[in-house]
Amino acid sequence: MCSAEERASKRLKEKEMELDRAVRRNAELEEKAACFRMEAQVWQAQVKMLEETTANLRAALYQASMRGGSREREAEDAESSYIDPERVEPVSLVCKACGKRVATVMMWPCRHVRGPRWA
């Protein structure tokens, strides 16, 4: 009879420990859920702010398109965006170290030979 009580007591302690672990795990999960809810609220606020910004920008764009649109401005835009395919810019192959001879070796990253693109 004594061993049956001991086994029952041991089993009861195991179940109590299991219950304690489950309660702790549940508390951890509740804490994570609260963090996720708070993060979701932050993201929702971010989305709302971006939607408002988008609406404001669209309204501003619409107003600008209704105000503008003159032929002169279109002609200026077309003129400024033309690129002459025949235009050639000279490339300097002079040695950057001595400034006298033509550079013959190029290393990466290189500051020895520089064209007008990096000048």
Tens of pLDDT, residue by residue, the chain (119 residues):
678 899 999 999 999 999 999 999 999 999 999 999 999 999 999 999 999 999 999 999 999 888 875 555 565 655 566 677 677 676 677 777 788 887 776 555 555 555 555 44
Instruction: State the number of CA atoms in the 13 A half-sphere of 51 facing the CB.
Output: 6
- Residue by residue, what is the 3-state secondary structure of 20-74? HHHHHHHHHHHHHHHHHHHHHHHHHHHHHHHHHHHHHHHHHHHHHHHHCCCHHHH
- Residue by residue, what is the 3-state secondary structure of 30-45? HHHHHHHHHHHHHHHH
Which is nearest to 93 in space by CA: 76, 71, 110? 110
Do residues 112 and 105 lie in contact, with contact meaning Cβ atoms separated by under 8 Å?
yes
**Residue matched to tokens 């971006």:** 50
Q: Give residue 96's pLDDT.
A: 75
CB count in 10 Å sphere of residue 74: 11
CA distance 38 to 80: 51
Enter the tokens of residue 81: 């965006």
Enter the tokens of residue 85: 């395919």
Enter the tokens of residue 36: 């996720």
Amino acid at 110: C
